[in-house]
Amino acid sequence: MANLRISLAVVLFQAVLYRSSDALWCNCTTAECEKTGSLCETDGACMASTSVFEGQEQHIRTCLNQDKLVPPGQPFYCRGAEGYVNTHCCYTDFCNSIDLKVPTGTTSPGHDGGYGPGGTWGLIQLVAVVAGPLFLLCLLLLLGMFLYQYHQRAYNHRQRLEVEDPSCDHLYLAKDRTLQDLIYDLSTSGSGSGLPLFVQRTVARTIVLQEIIGKGRFGEVWRGRWRGGDVAVKIFSSREERSWFREAEIYQTIMLRHENILGFIAADNKDNGTWTQLWLVSDYHEHGSLCDSLHRYSVTTEGMIKLALSAASGLAHLHMEILGTQGKPGIAHRDLKSKNILVKKNCTCAIADLGLAVRHDSATDTIDIAPNQRVGTKRYMAPEVLDETINTRHFDSFKCADIYALGLVYWEIARRFNSGGVHEEYQLPYFDLVPSDPSIEEMRKVVCDQKLRPNIANWWQSYEALRVMGKIMRECWYANGAARLTALRVKKTLSQLSVQEDIKV
């Protein structure tokens, strides 16, 4: 049996290698195939998959192009995800014209056997004779099983996964692959910006929510578990459908993935009849936001440079336009602040909350949505946003407004610089000049009319790293947006500083 499975696997594997040039026809159930008569043509494989969702079997048939058969030899799409009870890839014409069976977990209990009313006395007698010893036996058996399971839990878990996997792929599959690995494979193989939608849906629907970790204007953020790992789930209220859609759209911008931008996993809208639940699933970072971290901890020279440099790297990637077919449009964040930046395990930043971002179409020099003028957080609004002089037709003006906010975030970090046990407590920018939850008018008076900026203390000059940070901030805060540094320039300056200070990043 094992031999047969191995040789079958080898045959399939060879089929992948040798069939690569000729086209293959497959049955197709997705919406795009409706006009082609439920068929699709591919240079890769045909796929059939059956999942059970809310008690209903769903059959999906589709084409998988060569570039989606990653990693080679063990394509992710050909494996069963947890909700995908049965998934199958094959390499001949219309070979996916099959309905995979969902393995039934529990067999329905059989009917009562031969005991009619006449057999009752026999039953009672039987029970009397057998029950005592049987009961003891069961007890022993249970105890044994419990002990066995207790010792072999980890081992058992692995075994169970393999038994459940109906395909033969597991013969050469590494079972310890995490979601991050899978997404990394997909995004570096050139197949776009993340998981395809039907996989996103399956992932989202097999997440178990654990605890609420935040609330915002859009809804709630939860920590959830998927395949033994943590994920963050942002749940939008149904009236925020547009925000949900917009944020999902931005995160799925091609080539957006970057170590300093929050990793997007899945978007799902689940209609339960009375209301729609809108989910956005992303990487989970246990340190939480930069704002929370700075509240709790002061930073060393190294910590400060790492946070600042990684934030600049993320923003530079966001702003940058990459040309070519696999290119990326320039993106401006429009709501950059310490609450929207997450701190990763290695103490670097990941920029999050792209719901208000705008993308630049350089071919037509337009912005992909009509930008309503003043969005974002009032405290972090650039002077030209506060007094509405910003040129919204010019994409670069939004980038300049981001840089102003980055300068404020740097000030928050630098204030927490710990020089031999001495450091200031955490404060929001302009804490000493405006009340909490300031109005636009209050902000405008301070930032535009009085032209005030957060205070850069004189003693900062005595530490090289702080001196450089202070200089960067000033150059991020010019009233004239065009005069401010670019994210790339900030990144380069901080890279030099990190080399100078001998910091590995």
Size of the site for ligand NAG (CB under 6 A): 4
State the minimum distance, in angstroms, from the CB of residue 50 to ligand NAG. Answer: 12
Q: Is 94 in the site for ligand NAG (CB under 6 A)?
A: yes
Neighbours of 121 (CB within 10 A): 8
Q: Is 36 in the site for ligand NAG (CB under 6 A)?
A: no
State the minimum distance, in angstroms, from the CB of residue 102 to ligand NAG. Answer: 16
- Give the CA angle between residues 385, 390, 391 to the nearest 5°: 155
Write the interaction track for ligand NAG spanning residues 186-225; mark x where CB under 6 A is met and - where it is not: ----------------------------------------
State the minimum distance, in angstroms, from the CB of residue 59 to ligand NAG. Answer: 8
8 A C-beta contact, residue 354 and residue 343: no
> Which single residue is written with the structure tokens 């927490």?
416
State the minimum distance, in angstroms, from the CB of residue 89 to ligand NAG. Answer: 16
State the minimum distance, in angstroms, from the CB of residue 39 to ligand NAG. Answer: 6
Q: Which is nearer to ligand NAG, 40 or 336 (CB)?
A: 40
- Residues known to be catalytic: 335
Q: Which is nearer to ligand NAG, 39 or 254 (CB)?
A: 39
Q: Which is nearer to ligand NAG, 94 or 297 (CB)?
A: 94
Which stretches does DSSP call E strand in 72-143? Answer: 84-90
Q: Which is nearer to ligand NAG, 27 or 289 (CB)?
A: 27
Q: Tell me the CA distances in angstroms from 488 to 319, 330, 401, 477, 500, one per residue in order.
A: 9, 13, 15, 16, 18
Q: Tell me the CA distances in angstroms from 95 to 61, 66, 101, 199, one per residue in order.
A: 10, 17, 15, 21
8 A C-beta contact, residue 402 and residue 426: no
Tokens of 310: 């990684």
Q: DSSP secondary-structure letter at 36?
A: G
State the minimum distance, in angstroms, from the CB of residue 66 to ligand NAG. Answer: 21
Q: Which is nearer to ligand NAG, 98 or 446 (CB)?
A: 98
Q: Which amino acid is at 385?
A: V
How much of the chain is in helix, strand and coil states, percent to nearest 5? 45, 20, 40
CA torsion 361-364-367-373 (nearest 10°) is 150
Q: DSSP secondary-structure letter at 35?
A: G
Write the interaction track for ligand NAG spanning residues 42-81; mark x where CB under 6 A is met and - where it is not: ----------------------------------------
Q: Which is nearer to ligand NAG, 20 or 97 (CB)?
A: 97
Residues 119-178, interacting with ligand NAG (CB under 6 A): none
Q: Tell whether 234 is in a known binding site.
A: yes
State the minimum distance, in angstroms, from the CB of residue 92 to ligand NAG. Answer: 12
Residues in the chain: 505
Contacts from 360-365 at CB under 8 Å and sequence distance 24+? 360/321, 360/329, 360/330, 360/331, 360/332, 360/395, 361/329, 362/321, 362/329, 362/330, 365/395
The rounded distance, in Å, linking the Cα atoms of 248 and 279 is 9
b/e code 163-201 from CB counts within 10 Å (16+ = b): eebbbbbbbebeeebebeebbebbbeeebbbbbeebbbb
The rounded distance, in Å, linking the Cα atoms of 422 and 416 is 9
Q: Which is nearer to ligand NAG, 25 or 184 (CB)?
A: 25
Q: Which is nearer to ligand NAG, 97 or 326 (CB)?
A: 97
Tokens of 395: 């994409």
Q: Is 97 in the site for ligand NAG (CB under 6 A)?
A: yes
State the minimum distance, in angstroms, from the CB of residue 98 to ligand NAG. Answer: 7
Candidate list 27, 62, 260, 282; residue touching ligand NAG; CB under 6 A: 27
8 A C-beta contact, residue 342 and residue 287: yes
Binding site for ligand NAG (CB under 6 A): 27, 39, 94, 97
User: Which residues are annotated binding-site positions for ATP?
Assistant: 234
